[in-house]
């Protein structure tokens, strides 16, 4: 049995960690000190986002599902921004990333797909909620005849 997981807290921490790595890449950091840690973080973010997206796709009835999807989308956007900084060669450690450039391209493509799935899921839920919230003419007449 799965323990109760505080998804909002996990997504918040993941987003903050992504932001920290992103900001570090904008600094003039030495690859000798930070490259391995940065790569480990990037791979951790990749695995974590994939795991969360998979869990949410399989468990659409969890409490606060739509809020969690929005939080995951925000986290996903931050992660793609991080990958884009590396691929756009705006990092001081850019030369160190060259050997894993193709792997980063694959990760980016995968996460663009995941993000599209999240957007579709949010759209479906919003469409279903809108349809449920519409009051028909007969219902409105009945409500106004009190």
**11-20 pLDDT, tens digit each:** 999 999 999 9
CA distances (Å), origin 47, targets 32, 44, 62, 69, 80: 25, 5, 21, 17, 14
Rounded mean pLDDT, 31-36: 94
Burial of 87 (0-12, 13-18, 19+ CB in 10 A): middle
- Domain extents for the chain? 7-144
State mean pLDDT over 81-92: 90
The percentage of residues in the chain with a pLDDT greater than 90, rounded to a whole number, is 62
Mean residue pLDDT across the chain:
85
Predicted model pTM: 0.81
pLDDT tens-digit profile of 88-126?
988 888 899 999 999 999 999 999 999 999 999 888 775
């Amino acid at each position: 049995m799965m323990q109760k997981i505080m998804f909002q807290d996990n997504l918040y921490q993941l987003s903050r960690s992504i932001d920290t790595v992103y900001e570090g890449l904008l600094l003039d950091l030495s690859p000798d000190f930070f490259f391995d840690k940065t790569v480990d973080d990037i791979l951790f973010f990749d695995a974590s986002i994939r795991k969360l997206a998979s869990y949410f796709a399989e468990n659409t009835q969890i409490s606060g599902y739509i809020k969690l999807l929005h939080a995951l989308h925000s986290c996903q956007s931050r992660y793609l921004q991080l990958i884009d900084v590396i691929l756009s060669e705006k990092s001081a450690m850019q030369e160190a990333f060259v050997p894993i450039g193709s792997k980063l391209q694959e990760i980016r493509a995968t996460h663009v797909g995941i993000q599209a799935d999240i957007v579709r899921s949010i759209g479906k839920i919003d469409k279903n909620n809108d349809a449920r919230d519409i009051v028909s003419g007969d219902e409105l007449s009945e409500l106004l005849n009190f």
